[in-house]
Amino acid sequence: MEFLQPETWPEALQMKAAHPQAVPIQGGTDVMVELNFDRYRPEYLLDLTRVSELAQWAPDNGHIRLGAGVSYTRVITELGDRLPGLAMASRTVGSPQIRNRGTVGGNLGAASPAGDSHPALLAAYAHVEVESVRGARQIPAEEFYTGVKRNALGPDELIKAVLIAPPAGPQQFCKIGTRNAMVIAVAAFGLALHPDREAVGTGIGSAAPTPRRALAAEQFLAQSLTDDGLWESRGALPDATGRHFADLVADAASPIDDVRGTARYRVHSLSVMARRALIWAWNDFRRV
């Protein structure tokens, strides 16, 4: 196995173009598991840890530009106030060791339907910035996930960063697993209220072949809040609105039975998480 170690981003792109079969490695918390279990043996590993810009974040044109190599620990400690939904999701990932090594870029690269960053990125309307020697492009998160553990990257492309607007309203993330820590989600749900545009963002995790938004639920809730003047008044949320929103979120899932849980349980847990997340987010919104 060849170990490629670019020092700069242009060098990394050149190496990926020359060896499209090269497997990028950032924190290694997914890649090393696969190698250790001998699930595959790539001809080339492309180590991205020396590319310093990947490990940086910065405000950029009204967004936070989160380098693909920023660890979960840093999202939690440095960006908890600016990216609250993603920070909540990051707190639920693995253990301290995994959060120190694991990155949002790696979560996107792996594109597991159970990856915890995805619901938060979907709800926040994040974009994934990818690049190759051919040029750069931004992919809306909902178009990035193309199948079970598949994403929209071309063979010569690398993930450079994620662009996320700072929250205009409250954000929530809920995850259900078979225990409280070090657990892959049985189901997960992300919610973001966007009062600046009277819109709602959602993200469903681990309950469909890909992470996905619950579009009908988003539209129903945003419209109900507008029709009832609640974006303005910040009045109490009608119980029926919360219940119907939860039902629509559950309807958007298409889960399977597997070792972690049944499809039925996943659908039920999603509706519970959606209602709770909405109540918590709405209470936060009313307090401001």
Ligand X SMILES: Cc1cc2nc3c(=O)[nH]c(=O)nc-3n(C[C@H](O)[C@H](O)[C@H](O)COP(=O)(O)OP(=O)(O)OC[C@H]3O[C@@H](n4cnc5c(N)ncnc54)[C@H](O)[C@@H]3O)c2cc1C
Residues binding ligand X (CB under 6 A) = 23-31, 33, 48, 68, 93-94, 98, 101-103, 105-107, 109-110, 115-116, 153, 158-159, 182, 184
Give the nearest distance from C-beta 208 to ligand X in angstroms.
15
Give the nearest distance from C-beta 19 to ligand X in angstroms.
13
Euclidean distance between CA atoms 111 and 259, whole angstroms: 19
The phi, psi pair for 169, rounded to 5°, reads -150, -175
Tokens describing residue 193: 């209220």
Give the nearest distance from C-beta 112 to ligand X in angstroms.
6
> Residue 77: CB partners within 8 Å, gap ≥ 6?
none
- CB closer to ligand X, 47 vs 218: 47
Give the nearest distance from C-beta 250 to ligand X in angstroms.
22
Euclidean distance between CA atoms 80 and 236, whole angstroms: 27
Give the nearest distance from C-beta 251 to ligand X in angstroms.
24
- CB closer to ligand X, 22 vs 165: 22
* 214 within 8 A of 254, measured Cβ to Cβ: no
- CB closer to ligand X, 115 vs 242: 115
- CB closer to ligand X, 159 vs 221: 159
> Residue 63: CB partners within 8 Å, gap ≥ 6?
163, 164, 165, 166
Amino acid (1-letter code) at residue 107: N
Euclidean distance between CA atoms 67 and 70, whole angstroms: 6
Euclidean distance between CA atoms 202 and 204, whole angstroms: 7
Give the nearest distance from C-beta 141 to ligand X in angstroms.
15
Tokens describing residue 61: 């044109």
Tokens describing residue 110: 């792996």
Distances (CA, A) of 231 to 152, 217, 243, 288: 35, 17, 18, 12
- CB closer to ligand X, 39 vs 287: 39
Determine which helix (DSSP H) or strand (DSSP E) holds 64, and give its type and residue range. strand 63-67
- CB closer to ligand X, 184 vs 256: 184
- CB closer to ligand X, 110 vs 216: 110
The end-to-end CA distance of the chain, in Å, is: 55
Distances (CA, A) of 31 to 133, 178, 285: 24, 24, 40
- CB closer to ligand X, 67 vs 201: 67
Give the nearest distance from C-beta 103 to ligand X in angstroms.
4
